[in-house]
């Protein structure tokens, strides 16, 4: 297999790119939302043990805060972080600058105003009542517009690129932007014209592909950039990248109905969704082999570098979560795990363990580069990693074990429902612990980012003076 090196320019950041307000501010705003909506997640986890906790006002009840946590993490944090990182990565891969910083800033303002408004509407109970599509119509328009503006900026940057060859990351980013547009419109607008099972089918198409064709390609595209750059290793195989990309483009979109297995939806749709879910192993494993292959034999670099740790842990969680997914779609397994907390553990491994880890790694790498200052503290970066890793593992495993056992109990119809709820208590306590550790990791991440931003310029100067002799 042929190893592919990233063109020199990209890895060295030799372009005068330190002034990139759009990328920078998207990253900063995303970290702020990560903290806020992460805290909401912790509050929610407490409600499972103390159902009255903070529940004296309607806007603080479970039914209002859950969508705030989910949408806040997905859009306020992860999507915004991905946008910022894409603004950072794309010009470097194209050998030019972002097509329009002005448009980028306009996108930033529109996107963040929309997310802020969504915090209000969600807590006020103003919702469309569909998972991931809770935002009211007007805000859906805001998101769509921001996405089009973002897409135009990225596509124009690519269209005016200096390097002819399009690196893998760019395939995923272009595909991701394009698919997101279709998936988002289906989930938020097309659903308005349907009802009942037809609407549910579109809803699940959207929910599933929001992860599979939005966060997956954007996250994988970014990891395809950061893993070789941070480890300073050529990408393992170009051929594998190609198989991975084109197979995910074809396969992912068929699988939405696996959210309704055994449910009131046509059997052929269920069967198709199962077949294609199993086929997902192909794009996933090609990516995994490619990522591991890139750092293979150089694990010492992972040991020394917290950013690489995030990237490789993210890769491992991606492998695991995408192994679980196809297994859940099997009818026999689905009958046990579906509708339980197992799935919640699975979803957190995807969004936190895989894609948030990629985004955190990217932010830790890119922010200092853009500011032309070193990261405030490598030790703290390591701490945030271990907090999130252990917190995440406690979170995932407690919900898998508890959820699976609760699923088995549901099949024993002699056990009253509430007893299966009471059974979950120790697992929910463990989940609180996991959640608190993850949140602590997020706080350390925020602190590190803020200190890096606030770092006096002397440091940067001393760095440049140190570097000068080597250059001259």
Partner 1 sequence: MLKPLFKTLDRNAFALFCGALLFFLIGGVLTTVLPGMTEDSWSEPVAGLTELNEQQMRGREIYKREGCWYCHTQQVRTLVADTKRFGWRGVDAPISTPGEYVHDRPHFLGTRRIGPDLARVGGKYDKSWHRTHFRNPRDLVPGSIMPPYPWLLDENGGQEFEDLTAYIQTLGRAVDWRPDDDYEE
Burial (0-12, 13-18, 19+ Cβ within 10 Å), 77: buried
Burial (0-12, 13-18, 19+ Cβ within 10 Å), 14: exposed
Total residues binding ligand HEC (CB under 6 A): 5
- Please report whether residue 246 would count as binding ligand HEC according to CB under 6 A: no
Beta carbon nearer to partner 1, 298 or 331: 331
- Please report whether residue 63 would count as binding ligand HEC according to CB under 6 A: yes
- Residue 235's contacts (CB-CB under 8 Å, 6 or more residues apart) are 3, 4, 5, 6, 168, 224, 227, 228, 241, 290, 294
Q: How far is the CB of 58 from partner 1 (least distance, A)?
A: 6
Taking contact as CB under 6 A, which single stretch among the options 3-11, 216-224, 399-407, 414-422 is the one that binds ligand HEC? 414-422
Beta carbon nearer to partner 1, 246 or 296: 246
DSSP letter at 352 equals I
- DSSP β-bridge partners for residue 428: none
Taking contact as CB under 6 A, which single stretch among the options 245-253, 340-348, 381-389, 413-421 is the one that binds ligand HEC? 413-421
Rg (CA), the chain: 22
Taking contact as CB under 6 A, which single stretch among the options 109-117, 184-192, 381-389, 416-424 is the one that binds ligand HEC? 416-424
Q: Which does 441 bind (CB under 5 to 8 A by kind): partner 1, ligand HEC, none?
A: none
Q: Which does 98 bind (CB under 5 to 8 A by kind): partner 1, ligand HEC, none?
A: none
- Of the candidate residues 18, 59, 417, 462, the single one contacting ligand HEC (CB under 6 A): 417
Q: How far is the CB of 339 from partner 1 (least distance, A)?
A: 4
Largest CA distance in the chain: 80
* Nearest 10 degrees: Cα torsion 268, 201, 338, 215: 110
Give the angle subtended at the CA of 109 by the CAs of 103 and 113, to the nearest 5°.
145
Question: How far apart are the C-alpha atoms of 353 and 440, rounded to whole Å?
Answer: 15
- Please report whether residue 418 would count as binding ligand HEC according to CB under 6 A: yes
Beta carbon nearer to ligand HEC, 63 or 426: 63
CB 321 within 8 A of CB 253: no
Q: Which does 426 bind (CB under 5 to 8 A by kind): partner 1, ligand HEC, none?
A: none
- Please report whether residue 422 would count as binding ligand HEC according to CB under 6 A: no
Give the residues lining the site for ligand HEC (CB under 6 A): 62-63, 417-418, 421
């Amino acid at each position: 297999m042929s190893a592919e090196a990233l063109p020199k320019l990209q890895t060295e950041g030799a372009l005068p790119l330190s002034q990139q307000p759009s990328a920078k501010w998207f990253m900063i705003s995303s970290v702020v939302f990560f903290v806020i909506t992460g805290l909401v997640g912790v509050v929610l986890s407490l409600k499972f043990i103390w159902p009255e906790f903070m529940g004296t006002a309607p806007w603080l009840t479970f039914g209002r805060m859950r969508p705030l946590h989910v949408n806040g993490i997905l859009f306020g944090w992860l999507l915004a972080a991905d946008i910022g990182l894409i603004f950072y990565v794309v010009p470097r891969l194209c050998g030019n600058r972002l097509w329009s910083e002005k448009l980028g800033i306009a996108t930033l303002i529109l996107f963040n105003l929309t997310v802020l408004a969504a915090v209000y509407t969600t807590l006020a109970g103003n919702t469309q009542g569909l998972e991931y599509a809770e935002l009211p119509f007007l805000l859906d328009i805001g998101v769509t517009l921001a996405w089009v503006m973002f897409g135009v900026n990225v596509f124009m940057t690519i269209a005016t690129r200096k390097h002819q060859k399009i690196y893998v990351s760019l395939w995923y980013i272009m595909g991701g932007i394009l698919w997101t547009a279709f998936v988002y419109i289906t989930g938020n607008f097309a659903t308005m014209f349907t009802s009942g099972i037809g609407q549910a089918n579109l809803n699940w198409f959207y929910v599933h592909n929001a992860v599979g064709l939005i966060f997956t390609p954007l996250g994988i595209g970014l990891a395809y950039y950061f893993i070789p750059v941070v480890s300073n290793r050529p990408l393992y195989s170009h051929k594998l990248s190609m198989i991975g990309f084109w197979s995910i483009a074809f396969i992912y979109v068929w699988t939405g109905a696996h959210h309704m297995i055994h449910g009131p939806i046509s059997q052929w749709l269920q069967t198709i969704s199962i077949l294609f879910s199993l086929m997902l192993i192909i794009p996933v494993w090609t990516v995994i082999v490619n990522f591991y292959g890139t750092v293979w034999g150089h694990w010492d670099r992972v040991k020394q570098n917290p950013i690489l740790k995030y990237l490789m842990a993210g890769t491992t969680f991606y492998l695991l979560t995408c192994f679980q997914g196809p297994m859940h779609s099997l009818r026999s397994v689905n009958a046990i795990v579906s509708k339980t907390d197992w799935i919640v553990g699975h979803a957190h491994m995807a969004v936190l363990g895989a894609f948030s880890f990629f985004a955190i790694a990217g932010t830790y790498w890119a922010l200092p580069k853009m500011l032309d200052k070193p990261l405030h503290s490598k030790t703290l970066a390591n701490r945030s990693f271990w907090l999130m890793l252990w917190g995440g593992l406690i979170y995932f495993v407690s919900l898998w074990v508890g959820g699976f056992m609760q699923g088995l109990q549901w099949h024993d119809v002699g056990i009253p429902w509430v007893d299966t709820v009471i059974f979950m208590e120790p697992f929910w306590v463990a989940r609180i612990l996991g959640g608190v550790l993850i949140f602590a990791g997020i706080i350390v991440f925020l602190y590190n980012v803020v200190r890096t931003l606030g770092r006096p310029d002397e440091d940067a100067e001393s760095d440049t003076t140190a570097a000068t002799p080597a250059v001259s």
